[in-house]
Amino acid sequence: MTTLTEATGTTAARETPARRRRRVDLLPYLLLLPCLAIIAVLLLWPLGQVVMMSFFKLDSVRQLRGDREWPWVGLGNYAQILGDPFFRTVLRNTVLFAVANVALTMILGTLVGLLLNRLGRKMATFVASCVMLAWATPALTGTIVWKWIFDDTSGLVTWLFNKLPDGLSTTLFGRSDWTGYGWFNDPLLFFAILTLVVVWHSFPFIAVSVLAGLKSVPSELQEAARVDGAGPWRVFWSVTFPTLRPVFGILVVLSTIWDFKVFTQQFVLAGGTQDRPTFMLSIYSYAEAFSPPPKYGLGSAIAVILTLILLVVTGVYVRMVLRQEDES
């Protein structure tokens, strides 16, 4: 009769190393299941709902509740959006705004990061803490503060311009009394203020990320470049920037995604969705979906188009990273 010890030994002998590795390799995926389930519930399911709604004509809350049928229009919503000249205006506004904000955020954040890297430990900690206050401030709260700063009667900017000598103010700007001046009425001025608000809120993350990357740059390389006669500008472009290129790539992609999706700041500064010349894709989608009369299908189609644009941007960056890894 085979004993229990012999049976156990026979079973262990039959378990090949490949089968043992296969069983162990499942553990990481099992550990990821809770996170994947949360992502599916909070992200994938709503995204699927938006994609599905974009193929129907939805203009009533009763339809969303299931009290009425959903008329199928297929790609009709997409054809209507892409054929609308106003959509091209909105897309142009979005792209130009994103390009300008990404450039300004990266430049300012990099300069602040370089400054923090040159400061002493205590001063760098103090400055970084002050800078991070802008990042920690909720977008809604910060935008309300900026809207008060540019208020046409009691705002700080209005007060400062009223303090200018009348002759100087008239010569430079064509007016001496700034009380009642609508800072948000002109589209170009509105986008300038919106850019200021978004860059103010975004650059601290870039600065701290660049600072973390600078700590990993070997000081020997920078010292060798200085010995060879390279100045600060040459050291940055020849040593620091190539080393931090992956960091800058990730930051550019993240900034692009965030700036394409700007909604809260624009909605608060504009006071709603009535300022159509300054529309960008996010607020355009919201306005089409929820402004009377509601067009939930059209709003969903715009949201899907925005998502596809961001996926293309992310895909281009991933392809560039993979190509650099293959070349190296």
Distance CA 26, CA 30 (A): 6
Compute how many other C-beta atoms are within 10 angstroms of the C-beta atom of residue 127: 15
Compute how many other C-beta atoms are within 10 angstroms of the C-beta atom of residue 89: 14
For 20-48, what is each residue's pLDDT tens digit?
Answer: 555 557 788 888 888 888 888 888 888 88
Specify the DSSP class assigned to residue 278: G
CB distance 190 to 143 below 8 Å: no
Domains with residue ranges and CATH for the chain: 91-291 (1.10.3720.10)
Q: At what angle do helices 245-260 and 296-327 cross, to 10 degrees?
A: 170
- Sign for the CA dihedral angle at 172, 178, 181, 184 comes to positive
What are the backbone angles phi and psi of residue 56, rounded to the nearest 5°? -125, 160
pLDDT > 70? residue 166: yes
Give the bridge partners for 56, in sequence order: 72
Longest dimension (CA), the chain: 112
With 0.85 as the threshold, say if the pTM is over it.
no
Pick left, alpha or beta for residue 174 (phi over 0 → left; psi -120 to 50 → alpha; otherwise beta). left
Compute how many other C-beta atoms are within 10 angstroms of the C-beta atom of residue 116: 19
For 197-246, what is each residue's pLDDT tens digit?
Answer: 999 999 999 999 999 888 888 878 778 878 777 777 888 888 888 888 88
pLDDT > 60? residue 9: no
